[in-house]
Amino acid sequence: MRILITGANGFVGRHLERELVSRNHEVFLGVKQIDKNEEIRRVKQSVDLNILDKEQVKSVIAFVKPDVIFHLAAQSNVMQSWDDPTYTLTTNIIGTVNIVEVVGELSLSTKIITIGSSEEYGITAKYTNKLTESSPCLPQNPYAISKFAAGEIAQQIAKKYHLNHIHVRPFNHFGPGQQEGFVISDFASKIARIEAGLASNSIKVGYLEAERDFTDVRDIIDAYVLLIESVVPNGIYNIGSGVSRSISEVLDYLIELADVPIDIEIDYDKYRISEVKNIVGDSNKVQQAIDWKPEHDFKDSLKDTLNWWRASVTVEI
């Protein structure tokens, strides 16, 4: 299939590209700004694609005529969404409108996969054991609101133009390549720096009581790929492990993997304005639709993430 990935230079985009190419799909990488120093193969496959520039979106989609668009491009960080709600809402909502409208305006039969978030459920998570796709969405931060709005408007535009559209709601995912700003990478990068003698042996952490449903990014990618390679009804799909883990448990596992003693320091600046304590998903719908379940062992994935950071900080020295 001809597949366009928006936000292809991000954490998930790079894993998705690798998997799609290995399955012989023809992949086009939409990137906000092409970096000429990138590996040659990647540059060749890359197209400049700023999702806020509708004319550019139109010319890229008209040129590629994709069978599938994975719309990953976003401002993806919850904390940053409080620093700049306008940027987050504009990128995530208007960017999505541009992608879906252009496919409709060009009368293409492209299947569009928009990436939402478990954050869309917001406060409902407090009253629900495992969130299903029909749990009410009551998002409570700018990022979560943007993802909910993006999913809703995408569904309505898709209806207007009779497009194939799937909106996925992945729960927390992590793995090699994830930048700082997300909890596991924040902890793993600090441990790697401490081990390399680049930082004092204390890690600043935020709210440790929170519980999240973590999945290895490579398992999330498997689900994304199966969703386009199978015949699946349009609609919304949760994707997660269904397992609740506290952030303090995750931190303990990572500290066990460290080669040096690590101290923990609570940093109240890392606490969020609004926080849902426990967000865990029911992913039965997707499991039944594509016969999928996460395969990676959680502790092995933590080890892979820490090892990736160990290699990255070595380059910094």
Minimal distance, residue 115 CB to ligand A2R, in Å: 4
Contact 55, 106 (CB under 8 A): no
Minimal distance, residue 53 CB to ligand GDD, in Å: 23
Residue 264 in 3-state DSSP? strand
Q: Is 87 in the site for ligand GDD (CB under 6 A)?
A: no
Tell the residue number behind the tokens 């133009």, with chain if given: 161
Alpha helix positions (H), 65-161: 78-83, 85-89, 95-105, 142-161
Q: Which of 84, 94, 98 is nearest to 143 (CA)?
A: 84
Q: Is 172 in the site for ligand GDD (CB under 6 A)?
A: yes
Alpha helix positions (H), the chain: 11-22, 40-45, 54-64, 78-83, 85-89, 95-105, 142-161, 183-195, 217-229, 247-257, 284-290, 298-316
What is the footprint of ligand A2R within residues 35-64 (CB under 6 A)?
49-52
Q: Is 34 in the site for ligand A2R (CB under 6 A)?
A: no
Which one, 42 or 199, has the nearer CB to ligand A2R? 42
Q: CA-based angle 299:129:209, to the nearest 5?
A: 55
Measure the CA–CA gap between 95 and 73, rounded to whole angstroms. 8
Q: Is 205 in the site for ligand A2R (CB under 6 A)?
A: no
What does the per-residue mask of binding to ligand A2R show for 217-256, with x meaning CB under 6 A?
A: ----------------------------------------
Contacts with ligand A2R by CB under 6 A: the residue count is: 22
Q: Is 170 in the site for ligand GDD (CB under 6 A)?
A: yes
Q: Is 91 in the site for ligand A2R (CB under 6 A)?
A: yes
Binding range to ligand GDD, per CB under 6 A, among 37-45, 56-64, 131-139, 166-174: 166-174
Q: Is 10 in the site for ligand A2R (CB under 6 A)?
A: yes
Pairing of strands 68-71, 46-48: unpaired
Contact pick of 60, 73, 250, 289 for ligand A2R (by CB under 6 A) = 73
Q: Is 131 in the site for ligand GDD (CB under 6 A)?
A: no
Q: Is 238 in the site for ligand GDD (CB under 6 A)?
A: no
Minimal distance, residue 248 CB to ligand GDD, in Å: 9
For the chain, helix (H) and strand (E) counts, in that order, are 12, 14
Q: Is 117 in the site for ligand A2R (CB under 6 A)?
A: yes
Q: Directed axis angle between helix 54-64 and helix 95-105, to 10°?
A: 50
Q: Is 58 in the site for ligand GDD (CB under 6 A)?
A: no
Q: How far lies 56's CA from each of 14, 53, 65, 161, 235, in Å?
A: 22, 5, 14, 20, 28
Run of H or E residues at 46: strand 46-48
Residues that bind ligand GDD (CB under 6 A): 76, 78, 117-119, 170-173, 181-183, 186, 205-208, 210, 212, 247, 270, 272, 275
Note the residues at the interface with ligand A2R (CB under 6 A): 6-7, 9-13, 32, 49-52, 72-76, 91, 95, 115, 117, 170
